[in-house]
Amino acid sequence: MKKIGIITNPNKEGAVEATRKLIRWLGKRKVKIYLELETSTSLGRSDGYPREKIPSQVEIILVLGGDGTLLSLVRLMGNRKVPILGVNLGGLGFLTEITLKELYQVLEGALKGELASDWRMLLNVRVHRKGKLIATYSVLNDAVINKGAVARIIDLETSIDGHYLTTFRADGLILSTPTGSTAYSLSAGGPIVYPSLHSLIITPICAHTLTNRPLVLPEGMNVRVKLKSKGGDVLLTLDGQVGFALEDEDVVEIEKARNRICLIRTPTRDYFDILRTKLKWGER
């Protein structure tokens, strides 16, 4: 690989200096570097590219920051199959699982074409209003329908493949991928699902009916959620970063996307190591 994109969160401690060191290391190996615009500016340079342009220019993208930085990139990938290497500059991340200490070992393998990677499914999320499609999104973690701070419990009429499931009376509903099963869904009582599986998880948030439990669906199923509450402050949130205000009778349609995302993983840890570390299993 001779064309590498770099996206850094300059607000992370040590991020700028780590990026400078990385650029020097890649330069010695004759690698052409495509810096994201904000990254370039933080380094005092003027050779940056808009973030949305980088996936079409490179063979691999390095993300130095946290899971949020990586999620913001995923929305710009479209159907491009460029591998993403996430480097966590804080604690160990679920998505940015590679540490700075491991980075150069992993990069040496990448430059030789030796990559350990996982393909992760995405969700395609569409919003319909009065029969018209008004918004479309792709998400890696989750789509969340949630009431505002002062709104009452909301009613969410939910069907699967055209078959009525139930009307959830709850604070909200989380539609999650296996990758996102360890994010908001987990905190709401949802299951942990191995990230390479292709499934869709429905997790109610503080359901009024205690027998409403999380539900795991196989890939290929189509979920439609209609907002049946009037006059409420209800928001659709995508990967915790993009918000869309919903109105009464709006329909949110969720299904597995056709495209996937390739994430490079560390060769020194498996997923269960990450679970034990992040969730502090076994600690007293």
Q: What is the rounded CA–CA span in Å between residue 64 and residue 60?
A: 13
Query: Residue 220: CB partners within 8 Å, gap ≥ 6?
Result: 255, 256
What one-letter code names the amino acid at 228? K
Tokens of 270: 């498996």
End-to-end Cα spacing for the chain: 45
Tokens of 38: 């904000």
Tokens of 133: 């499609």
CB 14 within 8 A of CB 71: no
Residue tagged 């290929």 (tokens) = 220
233 an active-site residue? Answer: no
Helices 15-27 and 100-111, packing angle to 10 deg:
30
Pairing of β 60-65 and β 3-8:
parallel
Q: What is the rounded CA–CA span in Å between residue 252 and residue 157?
A: 10
Query: Residue 256: CB partners within 8 Å, gap ≥ 6?
Result: 121, 122, 123, 124, 198, 200, 219, 220
Q: How long is the chain?
A: 284
Residue tagged 């439990």 (tokens) = 213
CB 10 within 8 A of CB 22: no
Point out the residues that are catalytic.
67
